[in-house]
Amino acid sequence: MTVLLVLITFLVFISIDWWMHRNEVPAAAPAPAIPAYTSDYVDGFHIPAHLAYHPGHAWALRERKNVYRVGVDEFAAFLAGRIDGIELPRPGQWLRQGQKAWSFLRHGQKSGMASPIEGEVVEINPQVAKDPTVLRSDPYQAGWLMTLHVPDEESTARNMIPRGLVRAWIHDAVERLYSRQPDLVGAVAAEGGRPVDDLAAALPGEDWARLTGEFFLTGS
């Protein structure tokens, strides 16, 4: 009899609770964690979609009519690694697209990179010239290299990577780099899948100038 009374009491409480909360909307399940990498990441490298890219791993961004900001993509910054300095062109110097425009210095070696567009150098970034570590830590903002005056803006599209092919282009570059050493993928991937910021250090058997020159399309 006691057990029956307990069961009845239990059912009464359940009924009362249901009646009191029948119109409440169930709480939404916690949203899944947003992955750290969005569509702007390719194989762990940050490649912002709004920039235009040259096959030599430099980027260009139109700031206003006839003025473009230029820098290097994260793949290039991490491949160059812990450089000792950067040689930049002088304001007023004319750069042709694909011409060696600046150089990285590391352990007595030099590696050049090509200008992604054609125009006259207006300004160079004094911060990155003074502190080259900025190039690795923030290649798309504080680590920009220079601005160019581009009289023929239509020319900027020539020889640039079509937007629809940028992801495949970066993926191919990463695969070519990682194929040089079977264990490189695991060796360079930091926690969360982000590459380390000095890829060349993970390839001690490679000549740095020749390796970077191959990917920057400028030779050693």
Strand (E) or helix (H) holding 7? helix 2-21
pLDDT at 185 over 70: no
Residue 122 φ then ψ, to 5°: -95, -45
Q: What CATH number did the domain enclosing 125 receive?
A: 2.40.50.100
User: Residue 208: which domain range?
Assistant: 51-184+193-214
Summarize pLDDT for 105-147 with one digit per residue, the tens: 999 999 999 999 999 999 999 999 999 999 999 999 999 999 9
Nearest-angstrom CA–CA distance, 146 and 77: 15
- Domain membership flag for residue 65: yes
- Domain membership flag for residue 12: no
Give the residue carrying structure tokens 């210095």: 105
- Domain membership flag for residue 11: no
- Domain membership flag for residue 103: yes
Structure tokens at 185: 């993928």
| Structural domains in the chain (count) | 1
- Domain membership flag for residue 63: yes
- Domain membership flag for residue 41: no
Averaged pLDDT, 187-195: 63
Averaged pLDDT, 23-28: 45
- Domain membership flag for residue 121: yes
- Domain membership flag for residue 9: no
Summarize pLDDT for 149-176 with one digit per residue, the tens: 999 998 888 899 999 999 999 999 999 9
